[in-house]
Structure 1
C-alpha cells in the first residue's frame, strides 16, 4: 500500500503510435479475471486451471477502482500483485485495464459533480459508467489512479498491454459544463450566427439564436440539425477521452506494451449494429490495436452473423489491421448456454474475421450484484464443467497452430459504407413505428454474409481506398455532404458498382433537407428522382422480378415513388394507386454503375437484390454455390498460403468440396482437390491451401 499526492490533469494531444508495440506472434486465448470477486482465496488454483485449459492471457483490474484506491491517494495493489504473480508462474500474460469506468464511492461523495448530468438529471451513484468523462475532478482522479497503476505494473514481465477504460461512451452527458463546451465548439465551426441559423433551419418555431449568450441547452431541442450536431460533439468527447488516456498511459508504460480499447456495438438484446454513441474510426486512432466486445445469440439462434459483423467493423477501424476480442460469452445469459461444439465454433469464427485474441467475460460467475446470472467459463462452483472442457480443446488447438494462424490478412472486394452522422439523422425520423438505421443496415450485411461474400466496413473517416473495392453498398445515407456523396459517385464513375438504398442523400451533413429534387446529390448518378414517399401497406413488386414468392415479394417500412431519368427500371411497385412508380433502378455512370432501391425489401428480397449486384460487379464468393448454414471465411497466412475457415452453423451434418487441395489444420489431415469435406453439427474446419 502506498499514498500518492494528487496529479494535475493533463491536456489531450495527438498521439503518435510506437512501432515497438506489438502482440506475441500467436493467437491469444483468454479470460477476464477478478481475484477481488472470488468467494475464497483461489488465485493460484485458478491460474493452474487456466494453464491446463490453454488460457494464455487474462485481463485484470478494469472494474475495481474502489478496491485499488480505497481513499483518495491511498492505493492497495495486493490483488493486482497476486494475480500478476500467479499468472506469471503459469506462463500466462496479462492485459491491465485502467479502472476508470466504475467510480468509487468516495469520489462520488467528495465530488458529486463527477456524476453525469443527462436530460433526466444527475445520475445516482450505484451503476457503472455513471460519470461525466469531461469533468475536471473525474479526470484528475482518473489520472492519479492510472499513473499509480501503470507505474506499479509496467515492469512486471507478465504485462503485455493495457486496455483503456471499458466500452467508453459519453453516457449522454449534457449538463451545463458540456453545453458550454458545445457552444464553444459551435463558435469555432460557425463564426457567423447567421450561417449557423440558416444551416440548421433555426428560424422554425422561433428557435433562431441571435446572440451566443442566448444559446439554449440542446436537451430540449426539437431541431434535428442542432440535436445531431450535439450528438457528433458527444461522440467527439469519447475520442478526446480515449486520446487523453492513451497519451497518459503511453507516457508511463514500458516500450513494447500495447494499448487497446474494448469498443462495443449497437445493442438489440445482443451486439447488433453500428454503435450510435462512438465514432469508432476516430476513437481507434490513438490505439495500437483495436478491440471489441461481441455478444451474440446462441443455441438454435447461433448464425455467426453478429460475430462476423463485429469483427469486420473492428478490423476496418484501422484499415484491415488484426484486432482483439476482449470480451465474448462463454455461457453468458441462461438462453446463451452453448450447445456442445458451439464454443469451438464461436472461437474460430472470431479468428476467421481477423481476431488475434479471443477472451471470455469472464473466468467464473460472480456471486453478487447485477451480473449474478451472467455466467463465465466456469459456473458459481468454480469447478471444471462441459464448457471448460470444450474451451480446453480450443486452447490445445491454438497452442499447436496459433502461430500459423496469427497475422492472417484479408483483401475483400465488397464494402458496406456506414456513417454515424447518417445514423443520428435517420434515427431522428424513424419510419414505420421506430425502425432504426441498424435495422436497415444489418439485412444487407447479413445477405452478403449468408452468400459467403466477405466485406469491409467503410465510414467517412476510413483511410481505405474506395477503388480497392468492386462493389460498395450504401444503406440509408440519410445525411451526408455533397463532397462525401461525390466521392462515392466518382467511385462508380471510375468503374465501380454502387448500391444506394432508400432515404439516402435526403439531407446534407447538417441534417438540413436538400433544396433539390430527391435524392439530392445522388439523383444524377443514379439517374432517378422522386417527390413522393409513403409507408407501404400491402405493396408488392410487380411480377415478382427476383423470384422470391408471394410472401417475401413485399415492400416494408418505407417506399419512394421513383421516376427514372436515365436509369433502367429493375422493379416496379404493384399497387392500384401507383402502378407506374419504379421501386428499384440501375444506371450507367461513367465506366461504372449506380443502383438505387427506393424501398425496404424483405430479407429474402434483400438477398436476391444483393446477389444480383455482387454478380454484376464481378465478385465471386470463395466457394461459389456454398451458402449458409455453411459459412466460408478466410485470408492469406504469413507464409503466403490461402486459408479457409469452414463453419457449419446448423444441427445437421453438412458437406462441401474444395477445388484446390490442402491440409485441414485442426485434424492434421490432407484434403485432396475436389474431395468432400464433411462437418458434423456445429463443427469447424480450417483448410490451408497447398502452395502460395
Structure 2
C-alpha cells in the first residue's frame, strides 16, 4: 500500500515554539499566521521538560493554552513527540540513555539527539511521555496529527552505547541463528576474526589499522536502521492505540535509516525538511553546478517514499548555528521558488521553518520568515504572495509526478558504498551526472527504490532505468532486471556492477556477476585512473569523444552486442568501453566507467524520452516538472537563474496563477515560476 499525504488542496504551515515567547505575543502571532493563509502549526517537538518537568510529574498547561489559542484562529496543530531532546533530569539519572562514540566516549547533555535508541530506560521513559501526550490530546479538536521525534539520525547516525552493543548481538542472533552462519556472512576467517562465542560479538570498534571488517560494517548499518525504526514503532504503536483519529508521520531524511520501510510499516505519509541553499550544495564547484536546483533530487527520493508528501521545514531565511554558517539569505523570489520546487515534486503541504528567528540557543542565526524584531520584511511578503497564489492552485493536490525514466536507489548498496572506496565515490559522481543531464535536457526523472518486494509491475512503470554502480546484485534481482528488459525496458549499468552478494562479499564469478547474460559482457581487465597520467577517453559511435574518468573496465563481448564506444588515450585503446545489447523487446547498456555529464547527455538521446520539445523551447536554467490529475497536466517551469530566461511556447497554455493565456514567447524573471495547464 502506497503511503501518501491526502490533502484536499495545497496548504501552508509554520513551525512555532510557544515556549520560547511571552504568552502575550501568541495572539498576535496566530492572527498574523491566519492572515498569511497559514493552515497548520507544528509545535512541541523540543519541549519534554515543559510536559514533564520532573520524572513522573506532568504538566500540559502551557501547551493547552497555546493549542487553544491557535484553535481560536482556525489553525490546525501538529504535535511533536519531544523525544529528540531528553530533559536534564533524565540524562543525569539514566546515563545509559546517552549515545556513545565508537571510541567509547559518552555524549553529554547540552545539545540534542544525544540519546541512543536501545537504552531500556530511554525507551521506557519515551513510552510514558508519548502515552501521556496521546491520552491528553487524542480528542482535541485542533490537534490533527503527530510528528514522531524530530529528524531521526540527524546530527549522528552511528550508535555505540552498551545497550546498542547488546541489542546488536541479539539482532545478529536473530538474523544468523548460529555463529557458523555469522562467521560465513562476515568472512570472519580473514585475519583470524572468527567468533566462537556470542559474547564476543559487538558493533564495530576502533581497529589498527582503522579499517573494520566491511561485511560486519554493512550489517552494522542495517542494525542502526532497524534500531531507529524500532524506536519509532514504539511511539507509533502508542499513538495508534491512544490517538487513532489523528495521523502519524515523522520528518527529515538522514543516513543509516530505511525511510521506505519506516513509512510503509509505521506512518501515514512521509514528511521532509527542505533546505535548498544548504552550504555544501551552494559550494558545488563541479561542471555546470545545480546548486539549489540539486535539491530536486532529494525531493525525488522523498517522492519515492510518499508520492504526495509534506514539507515540515521549508527554508525561509538565512540559516546556521552559532558554530556553523550554512545558508545565505534567499534572494528576492527564491523563497517562492523553493516553495514551488517542493510542490512541483509532489509536496501538498509546506510548512516554513520557522515563524520567528529564535533569540536564544544554538539556532539564533537559523532565520525564520520573521526576524527578531517582528517587523515586516521581504520574506513575510513573499510568503503572503505564495499563499494567495496557492488558493488558485489548490486543485493540484493529489496529482502525481510524471516521469518515464528512473534512477534506481538501494539501501544495501548505499551503505556498502559508504565504506567501499572502489565503488562509493563513483556512484555519487554518476548520480550527479545523470541528474544534471536529465535536468538540463528537461527530462523529468523519478528516484526508484529497489528492495526485496520490488516486482516487475513496479519496474514497468518506466521506459528506462539507470542503475550505474550497484556492486550488490543478487541472482533474484538480476532475474527481475532480465524480465524488465525482455518486456521492453531499457536499463543502464556502469563499472563495478553486480560483483557482490548481499553480505558484501564478491562472487567467484566473472564480472559483472549475474548481470553478464543481460548486458552481454564480461570484464576483461580494469584499472583506476592514475593521477599522474592523462585521462582516458571514450569515442561515442566513432563521432564524439568524452572523458572516461576515475575507473575503466575493458569489456569482453558475448554474442549480439553492439559497441557504442571504445577507449582512447590508454594502453587499452580501441577496446570496448560502452555496449548495448538487445534483449527480448528491450535493451541493456553497460559502460565500463563512471558517467559524466557529457556521456549521460549523449545516452539520453538514445532512449526517445519525452523532453517536451513539441511544447516548449526551454533554456538550461529552467526546470520542467509535470504533475498529472484526472486528465490534466500541471506544468511547472522554475527559473533557478538570477537573470531573466526566455521560454518559447509552441501551443497555448493557461497561466494558472494569473488566469491568462500564454503563447509564443514568455520571459521568466529571476527566480520566477509559472504554473500552466
TM-score, normalised by the number of residues in structure 2: 0.90
Q: How does 1:259-270 map to 2 (within 5 A)?
A: 259-264=248-253
Q: Are the equivalent residues in 2 in contact too, given 1:426–1:436 (CA < 8 A)?
A: no
Deviation of 1:686 after TM superposition, in Å, equals 0.8
The unaligned stretches of length 5 or more in structure 2 are 284-288, 320-324
1:153 aligned partner: 137
Q: Decide which of 55, 60, 65 is 1:77's aligned counterpart.
A: 60
Q: Distance in 1 between matches of 2:490 and 2:654?
A: 36
Q: Decide which of 518, 543, 548 is 1:555's aligned counterpart.
A: 548
Q: Distance in 1 between matches of 2:359 and 2:350?
A: 24
Deviation of 1:239 after TM superposition, in Å, equals 1.9
Q: Distance in 1 between matches of 2:667 and 2:275?
A: 28
Describe the superposition over 1:238-282 as per-residue Cα deviations: whole angstroms up to 9, x where unpaired.
222222221111111152x21111122xxxxxxxxxx43111110
Q: Distance in 1 between matches of 2:661 and 2:447?
A: 34
2:669 aligned partner: 680
Q: Distance in 1 between matches of 2:199 and 2:128?
A: 36
Q: How does 1:548-627 map to 2 (within 5 A)?
A: 553-566=546-559, 567-609=561-603, 611-615=604-608, 618-621=609-612, 623=615, 626-627=618-619
1:38 aligned partner: 21
Q: Are the equivalent residues in 2 in contact too, given 1:23–1:258 (CA < 8 A)?
A: no
Q: How does 1:666-677 map to 2 (within 5 A)?
A: 666-672=657-663, 675-677=664-666
Q: Distance in 1 between matches of 2:179 and 2:575?
A: 42
Describe the superposition over 1:562-582 as per-residue Cα deviations: whole angstroms up to 9, x where unpaired.
222232222222224221332
SS in 2 for 1:251: helix
Describe the superposition over 1:140-173 as per-residue Cα deviations: whole angstroms up to 9, x where unpaired.
1111111222222233322221111111128312
1:136 aligned partner: 120
SS in 1 for 2:225: helix
Describe the superposition over 1:6-48 as per-residue Cα deviations: whole angstroms up to 9, x where unpaired.
xxxxxxxxxx99x9x9754111211110011236741111112
1:62 aligned partner: 45
Q: Are the equivalent residues in 2 in contact too, given 1:38–1:366 (CA < 8 A)?
A: no
2:503 aligned partner: 510
Describe the superposition over 1:116-144 as per-residue Cα deviations: whole angstroms up to 9, x where unpaired.
12313221222211111121111111111
SS in 2 for 1:449: helix
Q: Distance in 2 between matches of 1:534 and 1:79?
A: 64
Structure 2 CA distance for partners of 1:344 and 1:213, relative to 1, 3 Å: closer
Counterpart check, 1:355 vs 2:376: no
1:497 aligned partner: 490
Deviation of 1:484 after TM superposition, in Å, equals 1.8
SS in 1 for 2:223: helix
Counterpart check, 1:396 vs 2:388: yes
Counterpart check, 1:332 vs 2:321: no
Q: Decide which of 401, 418, 428 is 1:410's aligned counterpart.
A: 401
The unaligned stretches of length 5 or more in structure 1 are 1-15, 265-274
Deviation of 1:341 after TM superposition, in Å, equals 1.1
Q: Decide which of 649, 652, 656 is 1:661's aligned counterpart.
A: 652
Q: Are the equivalent residues in 2 in contact too, given 1:539–1:574 (CA < 8 A)?
A: no
1:287 aligned partner: 267
Q: Distance in 1 between matches of 2:203 and 2:384?
A: 54
Q: Distance in 2 between matches of 1:381 and 1:545?
A: 63
Structure 2 CA distance for partners of 1:118 and 1:39, relative to 1, 3 Å: same
Q: Are the equivalent residues in 1 in contact too, given 2:581–2:588 (CA < 8 A)?
A: yes
SS in 2 for 1:194: helix
Describe the superposition over 1:404-452 as per-residue Cα deviations: whole angstroms up to 9, x where unpaired.
12111234221111111111212222149x8374444233223222222
Counterpart check, 1:296 vs 2:276: yes
Could you list the structure 1 runs, at least 4 aligned residues long, displaced by more than 6 angstroms after superposition: 298-302, 546-549
Deviation of 1:396 after TM superposition, in Å, equals 1.4
Q: Are the equivalent residues in 2 in contact too, given 1:59–1:94 (CA < 8 A)?
A: yes
Deviation of 1:477 after TM superposition, in Å, equals 0.7
Q: Distance in 1 between matches of 2:506 and 2:616?
A: 42
Structure 2 CA distance for partners of 1:25 and 1:379, relative to 1, 3 Å: same
SS in 2 for 1:465: helix
Q: Distance in 1 between matches of 2:596 and 2:131?
A: 53
Counterpart check, 1:649 vs 2:664: no
Structure 2 CA distance for partners of 1:439 and 1:126, relative to 1, 3 Å: farther
Q: Could you say what the CA RMSD is over the residues aligned between the two structures, in angstroms?
A: 2.6
Counterpart check, 1:193 vs 2:179: yes
Structure 2 CA distance for partners of 1:520 and 1:547, relative to 1, 3 Å: same
Q: Are the equivalent residues in 2 in contact too, given 1:294–1:306 (CA < 8 A)?
A: no
Q: Distance in 2 between matches of 1:248 and 1:531?
A: 57
1:453 aligned partner: 443
1:276 aligned partner: 255
Counterpart check, 1:29 vs 2:12: yes
SS in 1 for 2:425: coil
1:124 aligned partner: 108
Q: Distance in 2 between matches of 1:546 and 1:82?
A: 73
Q: Are the equivalent residues in 1 in contact too, given 2:426–2:469 (CA < 8 A)?
A: no
**Which stretch of structure 1 is more off in the superposition, 229-238 or 456-465?**
456-465
Structure 2 CA distance for partners of 1:135 and 1:213, relative to 1, 3 Å: closer
**Which stretch of structure 1 is more off in the superposition, 190-199 or 279-288?**
190-199
Describe the superposition over 1:497-546 as per-residue Cα deviations: whole angstroms up to 9, x where unpaired.
00012222121111001111111111221111114322214223244659
**Which stretch of structure 1 is more off in the superposition, 382-391 or 463-472?**
463-472
Q: Distance in 1 between matches of 2:37 and 2:162?
A: 51
2:286 aligned partner: none
Q: How does 1:161-176 map to 2 (within 5 A)?
A: 161-169=145-153, 171-176=157-162
Q: Distance in 2 between matches of 1:22 and 1:327?
A: 16
Q: Distance in 1 between matches of 2:541 and 2:22?
A: 62
